[in-house]
Structures are given as C-alpha cells and as structure tokens.
Amino acid sequence: MQAQQINQQIDSESNVKARLDFAQRCFISAQELNRNIDFKANFLITAVGLLTTALGVVASAALSSNIQPEVPFPDVLRAIGAISLLAYLLMAFNVTYTATRVYQALPNTLHPDTQAPGLMFPLMVLTRFKVDGNVSEQKYLDTLSRATPQELLYDYTNQIMEISNIYRYKQAQINLSIRRFQWLSILWIISMVMLVVIIVLSRR
C-alpha cells in the first residue's frame, strides 16, 4: 500500500514536471515565431532600402539629363518618369510603414485583468508587485516562493495566449507588407525601365 502511494506521488510529480516543461516549450516556441516575423520585417525594410537606393541613382541621372530635340514629346517622357518614381516612393513608404508596425511593443490585450500570478510579463510585474507605490522585489520573491505548479501553469497559459495574439497581429502586418512589396517590385521595374529609356534617349 505504501509503495503504491509512493508510486502515485512520483507519477504525480512526473506529470507536473511534464506539464511545466511542455508549457515552457510552447512559451519559447511562440516567442521564436514572433522573432522570425521580426526578422522577415527587417529583411523587407532592407530590400526596400536597396531598391530605393538603386532607383535613386538612376533617377538622378535620368531626370537631370537633356533629351535630344528629335525625340518627340520629351517633357511627357520626363513627366511619366517622374510620376512612376513618385508612385514607387509612395508604395515604398507604405511597405516600410506596415513592416515597422511589426516591431510595435504590445501589452497584454486578451486578458489584461487576468487572475494569473503575473510573474512573467515585465509590465505586469512592475504593476502588481508594489508596496506603498514602489516596486518591491521582496513581494515578488515571496509570491514566487509560494507559487504552486498550478499557478505557474496559469501564468504560462496567460502568456502563451498573449504572445499568440501578438503573433496573429504581427503575421497580419507582415503578410500585408509582403503583398505590397510584390506591387512595389512591379513599380520598381516600371520606373527603372522608364528612367533608363530617358537616359538612353538623352545620349543618342
């Protein structure tokens, strides 16, 4: 009978540890997914910068050149080149704006008044663990020291849900940025072709 109780206790402790380990892996995995989206946003912003720099060099040469007199409607050509460049720049700003929204720091939004202990999220820690209006390390330590496995699971649950919600927001922003970047690439090609044509016609 005693051996059975010991086995049940060991089994129970093993289950608790397995749940905590699983929750920790889910928490880390959700954070990694968010970091991957940050990396994608950084790549998009870098790509926009490179495309804009290349186009700027060509635009500087094209718009400052003098088209040969025998070319019909030189002002129209230059206007089309300027308009295509302007359309590109507006779309480039749009892509950059939506991509940088991925970096926005977001607080707990799903359950801001959660009953979880609040031992993990920094802003929640600073809000909850105060004594006489000042942040208290001792209060945090006391709460952490008395926390049960179930309370720790509750904290993990709350943060996994909140991080997943942040991931959903970031995913929507990065997908929007990628779709706009596809249009930006088309505008870049059109603008580059127009500007190169202007350069060629000015050197005939």
Provide the domain count of the chain.
Answer: 1
Helix then strand count (H, E) for the chain reads 5, 2
Per-residue pLDDT for 69 more than 80? no
Find tokens 């500007």 and name the residue. 195
pLDDT for 132-191, tens place per residue? 889 999 999 999 999 999 999 999 999 999 999 999 999 999 999 999 999 999 999 999
pTM: 0.81
Tell whether 90 is covered by a domain.
yes
pLDDT for 85-115, tens place per residue? 999 999 999 999 999 999 988 877 788 888 8
Tell whether 186 is covered by a domain.
yes
Tell whether 61 is covered by a domain.
yes
| Distance separating the N- and C-terminal Cα atoms of the chain | 101
**103, 42 in Cβ contact below 8 A?**
no
Domain extent at residue 36 = 2-107+157-202
Give the pair of three-digit tokens for residue 27. Answer: 């928490």
Tell whether 126 is covered by a domain.
no
In percent, the amount of the chain with pLDDT more than 70 equals: 89
pLDDT for residue 6 = 47
**191, 63 in Cβ contact below 8 A?**
no
